[in-house]
């Protein structure tokens, strides 16, 4: 009874609102469709339950569905784990190596990043996944990866049933138009004939479910291989990007330094065990991490601070010359701008003529940056950043490129 009460809490019930999002609705809809149609096809037309093989097949289908849903809901409701509000390192001198989050009123622990969707700093954040409507991070990385593995495997099983169902039920209805061509389909005959005929509606549902199963196998299977690639290096997607930017920064300024990723244990098995454990509970507390020999506990955060400083140096100031509503695909900004809108969930920012923005990166027809705020904005609004069209702004003539860098002058090539 106490265990039941500990599960059914108001906070847990509030988490059910995560289901009210297009990502979980689509994901659960695909799971329900493939599972239901596969079970119906098996029992009615392909492999009846009164046979040993049919019973084993049906149990396997239920097993796939249960394991997929268990890991899916685990990844969604357990969540990634958040850095405690107001957190700071025990040694006050270590503050100099960390970034400060104004929203969480806390320092960002190593490997943590602030998620705009969750509005919290996430421990060992990999990415915010719309399909679970939550972040993938320290606590749910294993469950999320297992879901990416089990979903394609279950879909492969379901796709086999769909193909065999259509094969066995339509063999005597197919006509190739050649009297001389005869195909032996005796192995597909089922006696006695099924009580429920395999009609047009059943064929359409099976064909539709087959498309979903094959699409899910390809798409989710690719995500699984991407996740396993970074897990075996004990990284996250964000950390892989940070490492790439570190190499670019060192190469750009031709610095006499080498960035070594501190959390790679040097063994794929050791890296694997950092995420997957027999108990299912990840090791550590999500704030401090084992590091490889020769590295510092804050090696990654120090590199992030260097990249932030370099980002500020390379930022370009723009003045807004045309109003922009903040639409994802604005029709009034030109055809090229409309069709080249960034494929990302990062926000767009509304602009008004006369405002200033600081662009940090961009595409051919779009820029990403921070709006330069003035005193008229209410307190609590620390940053307003996002994408905006290039043709809405012009570069400030007073801004010229500078040779100053966070590490000194750029070396001549």
Domain harbouring 358, CATH code? 2.30.30.40
With vertex at residue 162, the alpha carbon angle to CA 158 and CA 163, rounded to the nearest 5 degrees, is 120
Contacts of 126 (CB under 8 A, 6+ apart): 80, 135, 136, 137, 141, 227, 230, 236, 237, 238
Instruction: Among 48-52, 85-89, 313-317, name the most confident range.
Output: 85-89
Q: State whether 294 and 319 are in the same domain.
A: no
Contacts of 337 (CB under 8 A, 6+ apart): 330, 365, 366, 389, 390, 391
**What's the structural domain count of the chain?**
3
- Give the active site residue among 34, 101, 115, 129: 129
Contacts of 178 (CB under 8 A, 6+ apart): none
Structural contact between residues 123 and 81, judged by C-beta atoms closer than 8 angstroms: yes
Average pLDDT rounded to a whole number, residues 190-215 = 84
Is a pLDDT exceeding 80 seen at residue 184?
no
Q: State whether 218 and 345 are in the same domain.
A: no
Give phi and psi for 264, each to the nearest 5: -80, 115
Q: State whether 76 and 165 are in the same domain.
A: yes
Measured CA to CA, the distance from residue 111 to residue 242 in angstroms comes to 11
Is a pLDDT exceeding 50 seen at residue 207?
yes
Whether a cis peptide bond, with omega within 30° of 0, leads into 192 is: yes
Give me 136's structure tokens.
Answer: 């993938």
> Could you list the residue range(s) of the whole structural domain that residue 30 is in?
15-80+140-175+183-231
Please tell me the predicted confidence (pLDDT) of residue 10: 43
Q: State whether 191 and 222 are in the same domain.
A: yes
Give me 6's structure tokens.
Answer: 């500990």
Is a pLDDT exceeding 70 seen at residue 398?
no
Q: What percent of the chain lies above the pLDDT cut of 70?
A: 85
Q: State whether 46 and 150 are in the same domain.
A: yes
Q: Give pLDDT tens digits for 39-86.
A: 999 988 888 888 888 899 999 999 999 999 999 999 999 989 999 999
Three-class secondary structure of residue 281 per DSSP: coil
Q: Check if 129 is active-site.
A: yes
Q: State whether 207 and 285 are in the same domain.
A: no
Q: Which residue did the predictor score with more confidence, 377 or 88?
A: 88
């Amino acid at each position: 009874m106490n265990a039941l009460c500990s599960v059914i809490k108001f906070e847990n019930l509030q988490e059910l609102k995560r289901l009210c999002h297009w990502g979980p609705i689509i994901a659960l809809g695909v799971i329900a469709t493939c599972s239901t149609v596969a079970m119906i096809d098996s029992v009615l037309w392909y492999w009846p339950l009164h046979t040993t093989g049919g019973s084993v097949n049906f149990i396997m289908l239920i097993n796939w569905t249960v394991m997929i849903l268990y890991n899916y809901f685990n990844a969604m409701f357990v969540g990634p784990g958040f850095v405690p509000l107001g957190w700071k390192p025990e040694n006050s001198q270590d503050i100099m190596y960390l970034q400060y989050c104004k929203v969480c009123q806390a320092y960002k622990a190593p490997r943590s990043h602030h998620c705009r969707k969750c509005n919290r700093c996430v421990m060992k954040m990999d990415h915010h996944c719309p399909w679970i409507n939550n972040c993938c991070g320290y606590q749910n990385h294993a469950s999320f990866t297992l879901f990416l593995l089990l979903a394609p495997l279950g879909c492969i099983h379901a796709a086999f049933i769909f193909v065999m169902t259509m094969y066995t039920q339509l063999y005597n209805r197919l006509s190739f138009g050649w009297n001389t061509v005869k195909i032996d389909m005796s192995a597909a005959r089922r006696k006695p004939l099924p009580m429920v005929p395999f009609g047009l509606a059943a064929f359409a549902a099976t064909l539709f479910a087959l498309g979903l199963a094959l699409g899910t196998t390809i798409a989710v299977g690719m995500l699984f291989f991407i996740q396993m690639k970074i897990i075996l290096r004990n990284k996250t997607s964000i950390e892989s990007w940070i490492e790439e930017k570190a190499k670019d920064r060192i190469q750009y300024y031709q610095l006499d330094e080498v960035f070594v990723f501190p959390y790679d244990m040097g063994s794929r098995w050791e890296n694997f065990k950092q995420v997957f454990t027999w108990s299912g509970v990840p090791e550590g507390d999500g704030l401090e991490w084992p590091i490889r020999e020769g590295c510092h506990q804050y090696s990654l955060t120090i590199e992030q601070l260097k990249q932030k400083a370099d980002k500020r140096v390379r930022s370009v100031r723009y003045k807004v010359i045309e109003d922009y509503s903040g639409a994802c695909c604005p029709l009034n900004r030109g055809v090229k701008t409309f069709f080249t809108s960034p494929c990302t969930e990062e926000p767009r920012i509304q602009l008004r003529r006369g405002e200033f923005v600081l662009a940090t990166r961009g595409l051919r027809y779009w820029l990403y940056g921070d709006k330069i705020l003035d005193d008229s904005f209410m307190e609590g609004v620390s940053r307003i950043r996002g994408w905006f069209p290039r043709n809405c702004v012009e570069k400030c003539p007073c801004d010229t490129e500078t040779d100053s860098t966070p590490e000194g002058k750029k070396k001549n090539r």
